[in-house]
Structure 1
């Protein structure tokens, strides 16, 4: 078998990969999307199945009001003492001198839960991981944040002993074990005890096209004792600008039962408009930061090296002892909203789906109109990741607005400042109408205005569709579900990419989503009813 990268397409960033017996698990960042932390499992590293998210209650995760790309940064999954340990960070500030955050710990004997109530660990820095040493001791390893403007904000990798009898850190044991290289921005640390030495894997260069992973090692855990790998970095695509995979870096190392080694890292697949250089800009990553897996070998000096060179490979030999895993061939899906719980592919923004947002079942999803899509508190929307460059998504909606402040429809969404949608609303000229609008870095544009499409009197349902074709996408509508009419507006997909958002905003970590939403910022909570959602991937 071959591992084909990315193994987890679409927004699946900052992978923390582990093995428990013959099963591999990956935990990924979710940022402001609820529930928190995305989990997958596999026995062959080739085919992966999505698991329920561990942070599914507000007891474990309260993100109401969090900024876009705040929330869950770089969770760390580990297994020791007969249970899973999950360290996760809830970031409350994404821009400016400060990164107010809290690191938490939760545990479970089963990867599917239940997960224990969270233990507050500290707020020293993000990207925290828990290292279980061979002697039974445990340590928190983390990026360290320095707000002082006369220092670099990424202040090395800090190690602090964790007392399992009290389930608390021992702050007096904290020390900086690694300062990073001249590339700076050292973060995402994972520590391993291998071959009688400690190996530290850490990301540098920022999670953009300069991203890389470095490896350092030491025989002790003393302050500043780690030396960097010669002829590094371990993995990067900074010097492979024409390669299909970009931004590889932040990730985790795992061994197989037969002693092979693999490394899971984040990766992006940028594309360019036809009139752009392929190197400047290097591209637009609408699918966000995904997960790749590379094979690792050890050189004669016991340093880990990526097979094929530090740029990595698209196709990688699967483990020799892989156990074939049954998983879907792609991520196409159809939801009739007839189950007692929302499908695990759905996410909400910052808060869980409760009866204040709506209801589902018996073939209907009801969303109660609440705040606008530009809000960060009460957004009535469910959405799922773009996981292919080309797809169609459609839905059927019933909505009876009586104010232009009421809207419901189908959205392509990146964050509160970058999104578009086709929706039912109301205007003074024609009553209930169909409009298409876009929010581009908070510059809002209505495309149809006085030409908004009147919904014929007596029409109960309207069908909406979006066609995403890598560089651009369109919207369509139907009044009978079979005859479709394309809105003559072609939107630039780049606006929904990490790289576009980065130009003006520090929160650029999530990738594009497609979803269903209802807005009533007048405060009258007018509901919208959706009868199905269909997402169909199309080959390039």
Structure 2
């Protein structure tokens, strides 16, 4: 590589940031990642040098009606693909509404914007033969690539890659995607092995088809095929471009789902997903989910190859040093805390489940505090009052002060360590019967009860209570300390002393690799409030810390 360089340290976007799609427009690189059931939908990042990334907004219109209510855990928005053509940013993606069945019950959509920061258009429905769509803009024409799913009984859920030309009218020189028409669909490639995530790069008269191979677990990889004709036939490379499946000692595991991009200086790079596993007695587990990494690529005999040789992802990669990088305080998008007291409307990187913040969140009523109105339970696929942040490292400390006066066991508020509705740890202030009395449904008898701090362990086989301790009146400072696969939760007294509640807990359960179902997201820490009776109970939070 000629010219000044600097080192990019992988992952370059840390914490849950899977299925990266990258483009370059002028001096900026733009990146989109999957958001699944989380809002903001389709997080966007930008960088000048591929090493330092900052949030660049989100495609906040991606979910029709701004709602993903009812989608299953790890359903929702999968694998968005960014592109830029005719002066417009395009993004295509699928919303998956069923998991674990032969039908994904998905819709495929297109949104556009004049600027990556928005506003983004309302979603336009496109043909959805399967998830992982992408667009190729070539010689003034637009093509949609898709995974093909044969959902018939006995069919293959991953049954090749198909291509559909889109007729996109122009209005005043701007694509009118509201009038897009789809032409016939044709098969590009089928393989016995599982392939998905198709992306096409055009170089030197070749169409290079990048494929995500082997599923998104430890067998994941990037495979390349090429053709002189867009419609094929495609010749498949005899070695993977990228994978870590043959060596569990490689620091970046699950490496796959890649896309190529060219720097202004001419060098080529690959963005891809990867995970940093924790080693546990149950095997490797990836609490931080699938993250975004970058590799330098060279070309040999007409094929892309990793610059370092072989196919294992490197943890350090040389990139051009462009001098100015990203905004101060936004480097690598990690370890940034909320403004003091959470006294602004929560925005990225704060996240909510299945819908954006609504009237259940109030940042005005009490300056320096954020007020949440309780709604459904931690196991609901519907209206949860939860505000959360991605965990980006295996060591973390989380603290928040909560002020809440529950009068019934149906009301609670506090801190959560979260993966999904079947895997979480919830340390909440709530109400319980007087000590020694059994649970007897006295939800109307708050005057007779006591205020307690309860640690609940959400598990695929059913939740259980790990500990219950009495609380004095007034605000309570709650803390979680995470060290690798273990976490300690508890409260801080007025004397400043830490008191653990319950046993150490197994944070490795908050990972893709735990439980019987498909899981694709990552661990979060956050605050939540529950009111199962009338959705009126509120709690106030202040002094959030994530470090």
TM-score with structure 1 length normalisation? 0.92
Structure 1 segment 82-161 matched on structure 2, within 5 A: 82-133=87-138, 135-161=139-165
Structure 1 segment 483-498 matched on structure 2, within 5 A: 483-498=497-512
Mapped partners of 1:377, 1:336: distance in 2: 30
1:520 to 522, 528, 531: 531
Mapped partners of 1:322, 1:16: distance in 2: 24
Q: CA offsets per residue over residues 84-116 of structure 1, 9 Å max, x none?
A: 111121111112110011111111111111111
8 Å contact 1:100–1:123 — kept in the other structure?
Answer: no
Q: CA offsets per residue over residues 319-339 of structure 1, 9 Å max, x none?
A: 255643343364141433455
**1:124 CA drift (Å):** 1.4
Q: Which residue in the other structure is 1:473 paired with?
A: 487
Q: CA offsets per residue over residues 399-447 of structure 1, 9 Å max, x none?
A: 1111112111100010111111111011111511011110111421101
1:73 to 64, 78, 82: 78
Mapped partners of 2:324, 2:65: distance in 1: 34
Relative to 1, partners in 2 of residues 1:255 and 1:60: Cα closer, same or farther, differing over 3 Å?
farther
Q: Which residue in the other structure is 2:292 paired with?
A: 291
8 Å contact 2:96–2:104 — kept in the other structure?
Answer: yes
Structure 1 segment 447-466 matched on structure 2, within 5 A: 447-448=466-467, 452-456=468-472, 459-466=473-480
Q: Which residue in the other structure is 2:517 paired with?
A: 505
Q: CA offsets per residue over residues 351-388 of structure 1, 9 Å max, x none?
A: 11111x22114212111111100000110101111111
8 Å contact 1:234–1:306 — kept in the other structure?
Answer: yes
Is 1:436 the equivalent of 2:441? no
Q: More displaced, 303-312 or 9-18?
A: 303-312
Q: More displaced, 337-346 or 123-132?
A: 337-346
Mapped partners of 1:98, 1:367: distance in 2: 37
8 Å contact 1:57–1:352 — kept in the other structure?
Answer: no
Mapped partners of 2:485, 2:385: distance in 1: 28
8 Å contact 2:202–2:208 — kept in the other structure?
Answer: yes
Q: Which residue in the other structure is 1:244 paired with?
A: 251
Relative to 1, partners in 2 of residues 1:111 and 1:60: Cα closer, same or farther, differing over 3 Å?
farther
Structure 1 segment 157-172 matched on structure 2, within 5 A: 157-165=161-169, 167=177, 171-172=182-183
Q: CA offsets per residue over residues 120-167 of structure 1, 9 Å max, x none?
A: 11221111011101x111100111111123222111011000111174
**1:53 CA drift (Å):** 1.3
Relative to 1, partners in 2 of residues 1:425 and 1:45: Cα closer, same or farther, differing over 3 Å?
same
Determine helix, strand or coil for the equivalent of 2:533.
coil
Is 1:175 the equivalent of 2:186? yes
Mapped partners of 2:65, 2:34: distance in 1: 15
Determine helix, strand or coil for the equivalent of 2:514.
helix
Determine helix, strand or coil for the equivalent of 1:494.
helix
**1:524 CA drift (Å):** 4.6
Mapped partners of 1:264, 1:292: distance in 2: 6
Determine helix, strand or coil for the equivalent of 2:144.
strand
Mapped partners of 2:543, 2:68: distance in 1: 28
Structure 1 residue runs of 4 or more that deviate by more than 6 Å after TM superposition: none
TM-score with structure 2 length normalisation? 0.91
Determine helix, strand or coil for the equivalent of 2:513.
helix
8 Å contact 1:288–1:512 — kept in the other structure?
Answer: yes
Relative to 1, partners in 2 of residues 1:162 and 1:320: Cα closer, same or farther, differing over 3 Å?
same
Q: Which residue in the other structure is 1:359 paired with?
A: 362
Q: Which residue in the other structure is 2:306 paired with?
A: 306
1:388 to 393, 406, 415: 393
**1:170 CA drift (Å):** 5.1
Relative to 1, partners in 2 of residues 1:4 and 1:322: Cα closer, same or farther, differing over 3 Å?
same
**1:526 CA drift (Å):** 1.0
1:208 to 217, 220, 229: 217
**1:490 CA drift (Å):** 0.5
Is 1:257 the equivalent of 2:276? no
Determine helix, strand or coil for the equivalent of 1:467.
strand
**1:171 CA drift (Å):** 4.6
Structure 2: where are the runs of 5+ without partners?
A: 1-5, 170-175, 436-449
1:199 to 208, 223, 240: 208
Q: More displaced, 363-372 or 142-151?
A: 142-151
Structure 1: where are the runs of 5+ without partners?
A: none
Determine helix, strand or coil for the equivalent of 1:146.
coil
Q: CA offsets per residue over residues 175-212 of structure 1, 9 Å max, x none?
A: 110113x4x22111111111111110010111000001
Q: More displaced, 166-175 or 394-403?
A: 166-175
8 Å contact 2:466–2:502 — kept in the other structure?
Answer: no
Mapped partners of 1:322, 1:63: distance in 2: 41
